[in-house]
């Protein structure tokens, strides 16, 4: 029987460089907010983009019943395909398919929420030293994920006097041969603006001209 002898020195477990680069400014603010409740009024918190957490928005019974039915069927208790169940991906493809851009289940990868989808997109497109273009003002997680992966972040300006549309000239000026993607957030977080079809086509024209893929964050599309 072999004997393991511990070396005579203290533990020295060091955090990785990527973990030291990872800081979420939203959590730093929200987790430390301490607001005394009003004695006569209920609090409606607007600090987190989740209307369900304080009971202001309840999940519809259609969704709840579907989840219960799936659980009770015992068909979905094991591992799924790494991209998600085929029938689920087919349903997503059907919902978002268009004649000019037909989709099938093979075009869909399911994620564990929008934050996970952002991780996967940046991870799939960008290498260390590449850059991604993100809106300013914008959702801070894009920068958090990029910096974790040693990907540079360049902020393109949004125009407050034009309902927070993209400054197209500034956007294009930031693109170089290491630009891996352009993040377009529509409807915008935190500005709340919704771009017109014409403006979206203008953004697409820049991306097509420069041959840069777009990461389209449209998580609030049906809440505006």
Tens-place pLDDT, residues 8-58: 778 889 999 888 888 777 777 767 777 777 888 877 666 666 667 777 778
Q: Among residues of the chain, what percentage have pLDDT more than 90?
A: 66
Which residues does 220 contact at the CB level (< 8 Å), separation at least 6?
Answer: 49, 187, 189
Q: What's the pLDDT score for residue 204?
A: 97
Return d(Cα 155, Cα 137) in angstroms, integer: 8
Is residue 136 scored above 70 in pLDDT? yes
Secondary structure class of 117 (helix, strand, coil)? helix
Contact 129/178 with Cβ under 8 angstroms?
yes
Give the CA angle between residues 192, 109, 128 to the nearest 5°: 75
Return d(Cα 194, Cα 200) in angstroms, integer: 10
Q: Which of 52-61, 77-86, 114-123, 199-208 has the lowest mean pLDDT?
A: 52-61
Is residue 60 scored above 70 in pLDDT? yes
Q: What is the DSSP string of 170-223?
A: HHHHT--TTEEEEEEESS-TTT-----HHHHHHHHHHHHHHT--EEEE-TTTT-
Segment (H or E) for 103? none
Contact 84/77 with Cβ under 8 angstroms?
no
Rounded to 5 degrees, what are φ and ψ at 4?
-95, 120
Q: What's the pLDDT score for residue 32?
A: 72
Q: What's the pLDDT score for residue 224?
A: 55
Q: Using a cut of 0.85, tell me whether the model's pTM lies above it.
A: no
Q: What's the pLDDT score for residue 183?
A: 98
Segment (H or E) for 90? helix 86-96
Return d(Cα 36, Cα 97) in angstroms, integer: 48
Secondary structure class of 132 (helix, strand, coil)? strand
Which residue would you say has higher pLDDT here, 28 or 158?
A: 158
Beta bridge partners of 133: 154, 182
Q: What's the pLDDT score for residue 36?
A: 76
What integer is the mean pLDDT of 140-169? Answer: 95
What integer is the mean pLDDT of 143-161? Answer: 95
Which residue would you say has higher pLDDT here, 178 or 42?
A: 178
Q: What's the pLDDT score for residue 46?
A: 67
Which residue would you say has higher pLDDT here, 216 or 11?
A: 216
Q: Which of 34-38, 57-61, 155-159, 200-204 has the lowest mean pLDDT?
A: 34-38
Q: Around 84, how many Cα atoms within 13 Å sit in the side-chain half-sphere?
A: 17
Is residue 72 scored above 70 in pLDDT? yes
Return d(Cα 215, Cα 64) in angstroms, integer: 30
48-59 residues labelled b (16+ CB within 10 A) or e (exposed): eeeeeeeeeeee
Closest CA to 49 of 141, 175, 147, 117: 141
Which residue would you say has higher pLDDT here, 166 or 34?
A: 166
| pLDDT single digits (tens) 95-105 | 999 999 999 99
Compute the mean pLDDT over every residue in the chain, rounded to the nearest whole number.
90
Contact 167/189 with Cβ under 8 angstroms?
no
Closest CA to 131 of 64, 202, 181: 181
Q: What's the pLDDT score for residue 130?
A: 98
């Amino acid at each position: 029987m072999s004997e393991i002898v511990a070396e005579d020195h203290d533990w020295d477990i060091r955090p990785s460089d990527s973990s030291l680069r990872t800081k979420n400014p939203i959590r730093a603010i929200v987790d430390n907010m301490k607001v005394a409740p009003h004695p006569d009024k209920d609090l409606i918190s607007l600090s987190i983009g989740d209307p369900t957490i304080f009971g202001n928005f309840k999940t519809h019974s259609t969704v709840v019943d579907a989840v219960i039915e799936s659980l009770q069927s015992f068909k979905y208790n094991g591992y799924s395909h790494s991209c998600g169940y085929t029938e689920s991906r087919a349903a997503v493809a059907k919902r978002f398919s268009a004649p000019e851009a037909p989709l099938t289940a093979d075009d869909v990868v399911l994620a564990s929420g929008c934050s996970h989808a952002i991780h996967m997109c940046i991870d799939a497109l960008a290498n260390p030293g590449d850059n991604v273009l993100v809106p300013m003002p914008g959702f801070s997680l894009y920068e958090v994920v990029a910096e974790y992966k040693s990907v540079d972040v360049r902020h393109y300006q949004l125009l407050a006097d034009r309902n927070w549309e993209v400054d197209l000239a500034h956007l294009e000026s930031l693109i170089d041969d290491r630009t891996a993607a352009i993040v377009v957030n529509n409807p915008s977080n935190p500005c709340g603006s919704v771009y017109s079809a014409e403006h979206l086509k203008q953004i697409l024209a820049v991306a097509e001209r420069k041959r840069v893929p777009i990461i389209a964050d449209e998580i609030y599309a049906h809440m505006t």
